A and B are shown apart, each in its own frame.
Chain A
Amino acid sequence: MSFEIAVERRLGAGAHVAASISAGPGLTALLGPSGAGKTSLLNMVAGLLRPDRGRIAVAGEILFDDAAGVDIAPERRHAGYVFQDGRLFPHRRVRANLLYGARSVGTERRPIGFDEAVAFLGIGHLLDRWPRTLSGGEAQRVAIGRALLSAPRFLLMDEPLSSVDLARREEIMRVIERIRDEMTLPILYVSHDRAEVERLATRIVTLDS
């Protein structure tokens, strides 16, 4: 199994996330209304949010297990997290953003090299720009590149199309399809758009609020 997740967490003010997901390779889409805790779930897999109880394993590696006392630090989980808002570092140019995670991994473990990623995402002309000068689509492509260059074992994508205008969504969708098919990285993909998910997903998991 690529993703084995069974977690619970209270989010304050009565809100509560509980999910049980067991998914094979390919792109697993989490579909649900806003407030269903989809982002919280990704944060728990990335190690940015601690579940109250449960277990998270990705590609056979246990990342969190409260019963066994396992809680791997986020920097050692090797998650490639593409955030909803891109979340590029505003004080670093595009090139330095792309290389931030690449610094700590050997080149042999990268699924994709720097030049290859830049060409693949079509961001060669952006390398010397500051993040605040990028459009939503450009920023999101850089964010995907930054995640891929950190040699992730899996990808977490949180509504990567929501900050991209409609005209540009198609190219990002094609990039995601290629990552799914060519790099064979397991992907956990959050969205509330059924049409988008039906095109991209290998399987769909619905989360209720």
Chain B
Amino acid sequence: MPPLSPDDWEIVRLSLKVSLVAMAATLPVAFGFAWLLARGRFPGKLLLDALVHLPLVLPPVVTGWLLLIAFGTNGPLGIWFARWLGLTFMFRWTGAALAAAVMALPLMVRAIRLSIEAVDRRLEGAARTLGAGPWRAFLTITLPLSLPGVLAGAVLGFARSIGEFGATITFVSNIPGETRTLPLAIYSALQIPGSEGVAARLAVVSVLLSLGALVVSEALARRAGAGRGGHVL
């Protein structure tokens, strides 16, 4: 296989940037949802659970269209983000990251939720009797014990982001250098006769990145759930 061209590298770089930002931005949100679903007791928990999982089962084109309505230039959230954070999403790589984040959220919540549920709450009780307030008990007991699962969820979210296609192309289109990530670039190459070589090179990169992320995620999950199965997929 011929080596990657400078254009190919540019696509890989953009994909990595989009996926890393999507993962980093989703991690605290996913942890919050996972915590609520693992520990919370409130009316409407089942509904929240379903809502969080919606991007997993919804046609991605619907997710992308809903993002367009909400985060578009005249969408309520789009206006809010532009005004208060100076952040716009339309036809920009930030939009691609947002679409990847939303699509990765359910997978990350599932993995993190499992790892929080695996923490023996009686250990937190023991920490409390030893003088630790709820916050110290969380930082010194719950968080370190669930950390491998949290990291596994993050890497899984990264892998999902690398592969994101439908919601991205619907939401922020397919713009070279801005929103044309690996899957979109492969799709574009396949539209042009004679570009199979580009598609093949990028496909190999996709496979390697996804495979690497899955192996890391699974290894972390096994550490987290030693003796408890530990699969997050």
Contact = CB atoms under 8 A, between A and B. Distances in A.
Contacts of A90: 123, 145
Interface string A126-155: 000000000000000000001100100000
B5 interface: no
Contacts of B140: 100
B131 A87 contact: no
B125 A100 contact: no
Interface string A4-32: 00000000000000000000000000000
A77 interface: yes
A47 B122 CA distance: 13
B144 interface: yes
Contacts, number: 57
Contacts of A73: 128, 133
B127 interface: yes
B144 A75 contact: no
A81 interface: yes
A87 B141 contact: no
Interface of A: 43, 46-48, 73-81, 83, 87, 89-91, 100-101, 103-105, 146-147, 150
11 contacts: A47-B128, A48-B128, A74-B128, A83-B122, A87-B122, A87-B123, A89-B123, A101-B130, A105-B131, A147-B130, A150-B130
Q: Which 9 A-B pairs have the closest CB atoms?
A: A101-B130, A104-B131, A74-B128, A81-B129, A87-B126, A48-B125, A150-B130, A75-B131, A46-B129
